[in-house]
Amino acid sequence: MADLGSAFQNLTTSWFRLETLQAYDVKEEHESFAEFLRTGRLDSPGDVGWREMIAGHVAAGRSLQRVHVVEVPLTDYVRYEIAEYVRNHEAGEDIRLLSVPAGDWPEDLPQGTDFWLLDDGQPSQSAWAMDYDNEGRFLGVKEVQDPDLIDTYRKWRDTALGLSVPLNGYRRKDA
């Protein structure tokens, strides 16, 4: 079984990420998140290696897409994450947001389910379920082998892409 890190490095055509949580508790982000809460901006460089990988994939013609379903009003963490998204967007990732009123989740999308689809439709295809606890702490990642679940991920991807707006459009609307 492959690991997700290798799958990112060996990507051949595309990735898609669906995010549905309103807060993630990522140890590596604690300091920059606290800084963002104090200042309202990001001054630390963040994960430069991740953005270099994004830029390399985009330069090679790969499609990198992400949709985050965000509830309004936005949590502090989502505001922070949007600031981080700007950096990934500048590196070439197509980041989109689907804004929904709190308590009015789209019925065609999962709540509390995050996943990656990598190289969809290719021999190198893989799907990955991201597992978090109720506080947004990362518990683990599992490669998904079930073809029916992968088809469900595809449907959710297509729905999320169809309902979402590009990051820049969202930021102009939200400003």
Question: How do residues 71-117 score in pLDDT, each as one tens digit?
Answer: 999 999 999 999 999 999 999 999 999 999 998 999 999 999 999 99
Specify burial of residue 116 (Cβ count, 10 A radius: 0-12, 13-18, 19+).
Answer: buried
Confidence of residue 34 (pLDDT cuts 50, 70, 90): very high
Specify burial of residue 45 (Cβ count, 10 A radius: 0-12, 13-18, 19+).
Answer: exposed
Q: DSSP character for 18?
A: E
Question: How do residues 37-58 score in pLDDT, each as one tens digit?
Answer: 999 999 888 889 999 999 999 9
Mean pLDDT of the chain: 94
How many domains does the chain contain in total? 1
* pTM: predicted TM-score of the whole model, two decimal places: 0.94
Contact by Cβ (8 Å): 18, 156? yes
Question: What pLDDT does residue 174 have?
Answer: 59
- Integer CA distances (angstroms), 130 to 97, 149, 156, 170, in order: 19, 13, 15, 25
What is 87-117 written as a DSSP string? HHHHHT-EEEEEEEETT---TTS-SS-EEEE
CATH of the domain at 155: 3.30.870
44: left (phi over 0), alpha (psi -120 to 50) or beta: beta
Give the type of residue at 162. G
Confidence of residue 17 (pLDDT cuts 50, 70, 90): very high
> Does residue 175 surpass a pLDDT of 60?
no
Question: What pLDDT does residue 46 have?
Answer: 80
Domain residue limits at 36: 4-174
Question: What pLDDT does residue 56 have?
Answer: 97
